[in-house]
């Protein structure tokens, strides 16, 4: 499960639950999850809604819950939870979830969970449908390139976060400035289109600041030039 989340650019969750067993088949996914002692249902519900998209199978793509029909729970949340996710045969993006205690007693249900794909691969083999933006950076010195990238990255990220570029601190983690997991994917896609390159799904987790992202892009955009120089030797 952790590998699947990391594959779509969301390597961590907000609660400390762990999966002890995961089985899938016949349109049903079953998991045994340890959430640990908690006074609220938040960790259990987070686990259920995070695990649920794995029931769809296929290649890893990011799905985020867009609608929940109903949530019901009974009693106190147990330390260990059994989660059963069933595909809705009438809707290709919807599941239902049952929550049970260690003895199999049903203690909760989530119905009508709709998970549209929000990170579908780009058409045409995943190549950006535009002219590469690297042309406009070709004649810049390394220092000029980095400064230009810092500016461009700030503009792109601020646009998705509905902020002015000046509102973002370039050397502070973006998560601490209001970035969430969904926006990490949207922003990565936007940067790929802007700069005409493919970026790792974990970009905004491994390079958590604007400055770090600009440094990574500088390496990516400079790589063809270094390769040409090597060929000429």
In a shared domain, residues 107 and 144? no
In a shared domain, residues 93 and 159? no
127 is a domain residue? no
In a shared domain, residues 29 and 89? yes
pLDDT at 113: 94
21 is a domain residue? yes
pLDDT at 153: 95
124 is a domain residue? no
**pLDDT (tens digit per residue) in 175-212:** 888 887 777 888 888 898 888 888 988 888 889 999 99
pLDDT at 27: 82
Please identify, among 44, 79, 114, the residue that sits at the C-terminal boundary of a domain. 114
In a shared domain, residues 105 and 9? yes
Please identify, among 87, 114, 141, the residue that sits at the C-terminal boundary of a domain. 114
| Structural domain boundaries enclosing 88 | 2-114
CATH classification of the domain holding 183: 1.10.1200.10
In a shared domain, residues 92 and 147? no
HEC sequence for the chain: CHHHHHHCCCCCCCCCCEEEEEEEECCEEEEEEECCCCCCCHHHHHHHHHHHHHHHCCCCCCECCCECCEEEECCCCCCEEEEEEEECCCCCCEEEEEEECCCCCEEEEEEEEECCECCCCCCCCCCCCCCCHHHHHCCCCHHHHHHHHHHHHHHHHHHHHCCCHHHCCCCCCHHHHCCCHHHHHHHHHHHHHHHCCCCCCCHHHHCCCHHHHHHHHHHHHHHHHHHHHHHCC
Asked if pLDDT for residue 142 goes beyond 90, the answer is: no
171 is a domain residue? yes
35 is a domain residue? yes
126 is a domain residue? no
Percentage of the residues of the chain whose pLDDT score is greater than 90: 45
pLDDT at 124: 44
167 is a domain residue? yes
In a shared domain, residues 110 and 137? no
Asked if pLDDT for residue 218 goes beyond 60, the answer is: yes
In a shared domain, residues 83 and 153? no
Total domains in the chain come to 2
The pTM (predicted TM-score) of the whole model is 0.56
Please identify, among 55, 87, 114, the residue that sits at the C-terminal boundary of a domain. 114
pLDDT at 5: 55
**pLDDT (tens digit per residue) in 12-58:** 555 778 999 999 888 899 999 999 888 899 999 989 998 898 898 77
In a shared domain, residues 146 and 86? no
In a shared domain, residues 68 and 169? no
């Amino acid at each position: 499960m952790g590998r699947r989340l990391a594959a779509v650019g969301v390597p961590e969750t907000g609660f400390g639950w762990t999966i002890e067993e995961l089985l899938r088949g016949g349109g049903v996914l079953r998991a045994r999850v340890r959430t640990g002692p908690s006074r609220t249902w938040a960790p259990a519900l987070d686990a259920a809604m995070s695990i649920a998209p794995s029931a769809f199978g296929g290649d890893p793509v990011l799905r985020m819950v867009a609608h929940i029909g109903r949530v019901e729970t009974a009693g106190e949340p147990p330390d260990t939870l059994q989660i059963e996710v069933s595909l809705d045969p009438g809707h290709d993006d919807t599941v239902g979830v049952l929550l049970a205690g260690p003895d199999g007693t049903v203690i909760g249900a989530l119905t009508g969970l709709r998970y549209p794909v929000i990170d579908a691969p780009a058409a045409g083999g995943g190549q950006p449908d535009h002219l590469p933006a690297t042309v406009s950076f070709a004649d810049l010195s390394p220092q000029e390139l980095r400064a230009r990238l810092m500016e461009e990255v700030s503009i792109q990220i601020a646009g998705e976060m509905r902020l002015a570029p000046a509102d973002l601190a370039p050397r502070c983690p973006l998560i601490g400035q209001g970035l969430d997991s969904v926006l990490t994917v949207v922003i990565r896609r936007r940067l790929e289109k802007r700069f005409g390159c493919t970026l790792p799904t974990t970009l905004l987790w491994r390079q958590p600041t604007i400055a770090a992202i600009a440094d990574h892009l500088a390496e990516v955009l400079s790589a063809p030039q270094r390769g040409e120089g090597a060929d000429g030797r």
